[in-house]
Structure 1
Amino acid sequence: MKNIQLTLAVGDYEITRPLKDGTVQAEGIDLTVLTGMDSITRHWRFLRNKEFDAAEVSGSSYIVARDRGMPLRAIPVFPHRRFRHGFIYINKNKGIAKPTDLIGRKVGVKAYQVTAVLWLRGMLEHEYGVPHTSIDWYSDLDEDIDFTPPKGLRLTRVPDDKSVETMLAEGELDALLHPDIIEPIVRKDPRVGRLFENPKAAEIEYYQRTGIFPIMHVVGIKQEIAERHPWIPRSLYKAFEQAKAVGMKRMRNPRVAPLAWCQEALEEQERLLGPDPWVYGLTPENVKNYSTLMQYSHEQGLIGRMIPMEELFLDLSEGRKRGTFRT
């Protein structure tokens, strides 16, 4: 029987690269793996244009897509997670020293729907007493999925000839929530800094208190493919699991990463976050993690209801005590 041909757009990470180089193959599937685009472009092309059969996609925008009834489903594979305290940037001349100093300020975002930005707004509100409605928001890009700002939300799209990063450095914005390390930080612009001077310490405290290592992305699949070939989601899930195992084993080789203390970083990660902080599947920890993101989305008017996990993620069960191959 011929394999099914599928396109998969995903980030070029150690834990996904084995799918691209063929070290791991999804059973019954010939994958064309596309990695040559940045995240926000990949998300837009999948959600807006349906260009790929499956894709790593914004966790925030996927929730919005399901709330809208868009013909997409997902498997509980989370290729990208990241702590976010270090991604709140400030103009150093604006007298911002603590989170509540953001109240009443002009704050930029790459796009309002971006998962990292949703996490940060939720954290600021729940952990630090900064209501999302207390800020004037300015977005750089159009959204993955169009939405009408709810009542009480002040959101302005900046002109195409402007950048929120430049506006922050020049003082037009007071602060910026962004998914990436912004150019002023890379260039060591003296006008720009981080809200949290020691973000790692804040992130460790947050994890130890909440158990959340924030999920950024999920793997979405066109609904028609999942319905036509119900075995494909399971096959993809297993392939992602195998690829992660290969990638993490490879990282044990200190020659792989050009970092002086790579092994020590891995040991610290295990000590702080456990043996597999990148775990896939609907574990209790992952359900809490993604439910928290969805709670923020609901509170902030991006979605109209809390969506049950079984509506968000495809059932990959193979039955009780099944799924292990015995010779």
Structure 2
Amino acid sequence: MAEAPFTLAIGRGPMGDALRQAGALPDGTPVTLPEIEPIHRAFAPMAMQQRFDVAEMAIVTALQAIAFGKPIILLPITLAARFQHRCIIRLACRPELTPGTLAGRRIGVRAYTQTTGMWVRAILAEAAGLQAADSQWLTQDPAHVAEFADPPFVTHVAPGLKLPAMLRDGLIDAAILGNDLPEDADFAPVFPDPDAAARAWFDRTGVVPINHALVASRAFAEARPGTLAALLTALRAARPRRDPDLLPDSAATMAHSLAHVLAASEAQGLLPRRMTVEEIFAPARALGLH
């Protein structure tokens, strides 16, 4: 028998669109899917107020929310991931800007806590020994979790400024962008041949650069674990199959990559305390969600 409707904030893509088309889980449970574009506008309301029963959330935001005691739980499925090496760009006329020459430079990113920025900083640390505090970070947005305070090497700028325009005007030396990465001959990746570098990194580390996962409010999860199990089944059935597979969909297959996220987040000052993968997935596991 179908249960009462529940709200799910999820972005556009094969998994979310399959649910939009169906309007319900396979068992007939109705799903209300609010239109939120871009989906990152759902992150703060979910983290701070549990505005939805279930929501897509950037992995750094989810980890911060859990670390600061927000009543949400992480569910074992990846909704979005991508190789990140191409996401840091420079002006094409400045070929001297490479991963090894970014110390002391001004780097723009939407928010210091943005997951894409976390991944790029982790990659720069590995590739060039560049630590977060070695550069000047210019940001436009605060963290989605209000308790987090940016470190002292981060400067907030007017939110109306666009990162590509700031790069053109010389206000920053490099910029990190995600889905809004410009396709413009004025810009070039900081990493030479970023696609080859990303694939070599993935082959060497086995780490999936997870961007977004799924969270549920603790109250909803504890009241309706069966609905969450059915939701996970539906999302996994709609999951696109690609090579390489960048969408791990279980606690076991996400563990290695999440350990990397935790280590990088701790090194970059993104978390108020040390966390483990076991801690993160314990609430879902206790509800039988693996």
SS at match of 1:16: helix
Shift of 1:55: 0.6
Q: CA RMSD in A?
A: 2.3
- In structure 1, the partner of 2:265 is 297
CA separation of 1:194 and 1:277: change in aligned 2, threshold 3 A: closer
Unaligned regions of 5+ residues in structure 2, if any?
none
Shift of 1:102: 0.6
- In structure 2, the partner of 1:105 is 105
CA separation of 1:173 and 1:277: change in aligned 2, threshold 3 A: closer
- In structure 2, the partner of 1:31 is 31
Shift of 1:18: 1.5
**Equivalent residue runs for 1:251-290 within 5 Å:** 269=243, 273=244, 276-283=245-252, 285-290=253-258
2-side partners of 1:2 and 1:11: how far apart?
24
**Equivalent residue runs for 1:1-327 within 5 Å:** 3-22=3-22, 25-27=25-27, 29-94=29-94, 96-146=96-146, 147-150=148-151, 153-182=152-181, 185-186=182-183, 188-190=184-186, 192-244=187-239, 247-248=240-241, 269=243, 273=244, 276-283=245-252, 285-313=253-281, 314-315=284-285
Shift of 1:56: 0.6
Question: Any conservation in 2 of the 1:88–1:177 contact (CA below 8 Å)?
Answer: yes
TM-score by structure 2 length? 0.90
Question: Any conservation in 2 of the 1:8–1:33 contact (CA below 8 Å)?
Answer: yes
CA separation of 1:221 and 1:23: change in aligned 2, threshold 3 A: closer
CA separation of 1:3 and 1:203: change in aligned 2, threshold 3 A: same
TM-score by structure 1 length? 0.81
CA separation of 1:26 and 1:96: change in aligned 2, threshold 3 A: farther
SS at match of 2:5: strand
Runs of 4+ with deviation above 6 angstroms: none
Shift of 1:12: 1.4
Question: Any conservation in 2 of the 1:4–1:28 contact (CA below 8 Å)?
Answer: no
Question: Any conservation in 1 of the 2:24–2:31 contact (CA below 8 Å)?
Answer: no
Task: Answer with 1 or 2: which has the greater Rg.
Answer: 1
Q: Among all aligned residue pairs of Structure 1 and Structure 2, give the percentage whose two residues are the same amino acid.
A: 24
SS at match of 1:76: strand
1-side partners of 2:228 and 2:81: how far apart?
21
2-side partners of 1:111 and 1:196: how far apart?
21
Shift of 1:58: 0.6
2-side partners of 1:2 and 1:27: how far apart?
6
